[in-house]
Amino acid sequence: MMGEPQIGDVIGELLRDTLAVATGVGPRPLVGGRLPRPVIEIIERDDGLINGAPAAHYLDGPADWQPYDHRAVDRVRGETLDIGTGAGRIALLLQERGVPVTGLDTSAGALAVSRRRGVRRLVHGTVDTHVADGQRYDTFLLLGNNLGLFEGRERAPGFLAALAALARPGAQIIAHGTDPYGTRDPLHTGYHERNRRRGRLGGQLRLRLRYRELGTEWFDYLVCSADEFAALVHGTGWQLTDVDDRDAPYYLATLRLADSP
Ligand SMILES: C[S@@+](CC[C@H](N)C(=O)[O-])C[C@H]1O[C@@H](n2cnc3c(N)ncnc32)[C@H](O)[C@@H]1O
């Protein structure tokens, strides 16, 4: 159909161009063929809402991080899997600290950018496909709002089961989420209400990403309250042991693998 994007590696292309703009190395988007054009991630929601966010933050060093990112990395221990590593900003700091860390991502382009930035251990795939590789972990990170990868009530148990299969005894998950319900904007409150009427969690977003001519398929991304998250975890092999909401509406949820019987 006219105007529909070509399905492709949106994050990979976007991060490659973001790195080129930041370093001045390699082909990069230019205004009028001369001036650097900032790289913008376009996020489309299924009600027609479109947001644009500068992508440069994916490359940020620790000096530009939010306080909760620092608190998250300070809780890391042991063999660590950075799930949805993106441009590898978290993995790079952990490597510097001598933490054995692996970056996992579904985007081949994101992994290429992470590799160029110096991340040594990288895996292309999902938590489900990674189980067969035999590697096991003490800490799983879902930063940069990647609690969203739980998607919703249907996916969460399978996602947690894959993490349990990848876990060493006593493993922990540290996930960064955002409580979406503080808003009074009718565009968002109406969206949450329509979602609930369809049996979905209010902040179970249906999104696709776009960059230049490329788009992703539509996917679910979960933005939920800590209480909703606790309900998703309840009855699985994981226990929600801490919610750090010092930077509300952002929070860090820590889960621990319950002892096997
Ligand atoms: C919002 S970015 C976060 C990047 C990074 N964690 C950070 O804080 O800068 C999300 C990343 O997750 C990756 N991703 C999306 N779905 C994934 C999945 N099912 N498994 C692994 N990675 C995924 C994307 O390709 C992207 O690089």
| Nearest one of 17, 140, 121 to 77, comparing CA atoms | 140
Smallest CA separation from ligand 1 atom 9, residue = 58
Q: Ligand 1 center to residue 261 CA distance, Å? A: 33
In this structure, are residues 49 and 187 in contact, taking their beta carbons and an 8 Å threshold? Answer: yes
Q: Ligand 1 center to residue 143 CA distance, Å? A: 9
Q: pLDDT of 56-80, one tens digit each?
A: 999 999 999 999 999 999 999 999 9
Q: How far apart are CA 89 and CA 160, in angstroms?
A: 24
- What is the reported pLDDT for 26? 87
Pocket-testing residue among 11, 66, 80, ligand 1, by greatest number of atoms within 8 A of Cβ:
11
- What is the reported pLDDT for 1? 58
Spell out the residues 6+ positions from residue 129 whose beta carbon is closer than 8 angstroms to its own. none
- What is the reported pLDDT for 34? 85
Looking at per-residue pLDDT, the higher value among 32 and 43 belongs to 43
Burial class for 1, CB neighbours closer than 10 Å (0-12, 13-18, 19+): exposed
- What is the reported pLDDT for 35? 86
Strand order across the beta sheet in which 122-124 lies: 122-124, 101-105, 80-83, 137-142, 167-178, 250-257, 238-244
Q: Ligand 1 center to residue 97 CA distance, Å? A: 22
Average pLDDT over residues 23-34: 87
Sign of the Cα pseudo-torsion (152, 155, 157, 160, in order): negative
Q: Ligand 1 center to residue 106 CA distance, Å? A: 7
Looking at per-residue pLDDT, the higher value among 238 and 259 belongs to 238
Q: Ligand 1 center to residue 14 CA distance, Å? A: 13
Q: Is the pLDDT of residue 261 over 70?
A: no
Count CA atoms within 13 Å of residue 33 on its CB side.
Answer: 0
Q: Ligand 1 center to residue 142 CA distance, Å? A: 8
In this structure, are residues 104 and 135 in contact, taking their beta carbons and an 8 Å threshold? Answer: no
| Nearest one of 145, 156, 97 to 247, comparing CA atoms | 145
Return the ligand 1 atom nearest residue 107 CA.
Answer: 25
- Three-state SS for 255? strand
Average pLDDT over residues 94-110: 98
Smallest CA separation from ligand 1 atom 13, residue = 84
Could you tell me the two tokens for 41?
Answer: 């991630």
In this structure, are residues 58 and 237 in contact, taking their beta carbons and an 8 Å threshold? Answer: no
Looking at every residue in the chain, the average pLDDT score rounds to 96
Q: Is the pLDDT of residue 220 over 90?
A: yes
Pocket-testing residue among 93, 102, 105, ligand 1, by greatest number of atoms within 8 A of Cβ:
105
Average pLDDT over residues 252-257: 98
Pocket of ligand 1 (CB under 6 A): 11, 58, 83-86, 89-90, 104-107, 110, 126, 143-146, 149
- What is the reported pLDDT for 241? 97
- What is the reported pLDDT for 237? 93
Could you tell me the two tokens for 9?
Answer: 């590696």
Q: pLDDT of 116-164, one tens digit each?
A: 999 999 999 999 999 999 999 999 999 999 999 999 999 999 999 999 9
Smallest CA separation from ligand 1 atom 1, residue = 144
Return the ligand 1 atom nearest residue 145 CA.
Answer: 1
Return the ligand 1 atom nearest residue 82 CA.
Answer: 6
Q: Ligand 1 center to residue 88 CA distance, Å? A: 10
Q: How far apart are CA 8 and CA 27, in angstroms?
A: 19
Q: pLDDT of 32-41, one tens digit each?
A: 888 888 999 9
Q: Is the pLDDT of residue 208 over 80?
A: yes
